[in-house]
Copies of this chain bind each other. A is one copy, B any other.
Amino acid sequence: MKRKSFEDMECPIARTLERVGEWWSILILRDAVRGSTRFDEFERNLGISPNILSRRLATLVENGFLEKRLYSVTPPRMEYLLTERGKAFRSVLFALTAFGNDHFADDGVALQVVNKRTGRPAKLVVVDARTGKPATGPNFELAPGPAASNAIRGKFGA
């Protein structure tokens, strides 16, 4: 059962899901944020098969989340470093972390976002920087942007 490609959709959510690639890719990015760079680190930490890992890394490189760099010439060995785009994806990872801890951590919090200076867990909220107000309140909604097609306008318009 192959999922349909979202490639040609306009929606930024669908586009991001398409570019990231797969569930595994999100966990690869999580480990990259934590400092993993080498194939065998990802393989060991994720318990993922080398074939799948190799494909997921290639997609993440192709779509600009990671860049490949030679760190040893003999033998030739590559490492995978987060690009600016990969680093920016922390906003999605952190939103997932907060949601997972709020909803699926009845047995306690195993992983959280922490302020390195104070050592305190962050209380993560998505806000509108224009006002500082939480964007998950009732005043915010998904709406067509300036480049929306008629299809998007029909579906998401007021």
Binding site for B on A (CB under 8 A): 1, 3-4, 6, 10-17, 19, 22-24, 26-27, 30, 33-34, 45, 47-48, 52, 64, 85, 87-105, 107-117, 120-132, 135-136, 138-149, 152, 155-156
**Known contacts A15-B100, A52-B1: does B111 contact A128 (CB below 8 Å)?**
no
Q: Do the beta carbons of B16 and A136 come within 8 Å of each other? A: no
The residue that A114 contacts in the complex, of B15, B17, B108, B141, with Cβ under 8 A, is B141
Q: Are A143's CB and B114's CB within 8 A?
A: yes
New A-B contacts (5) at CB < 8 Å, excluding given A88-B99, A114-B141, A114-B142: A12-B110, A34-B142, A110-B144, A111-B156, A115-B131
Q: Report how far A9 CA is from B54 CA in the complex, Å.
A: 22
Please indicate the chain B residues that have their CB under 8 angstroms from the CB of A12 in the complex.
Answer: 96-101, 104-105, 109-112
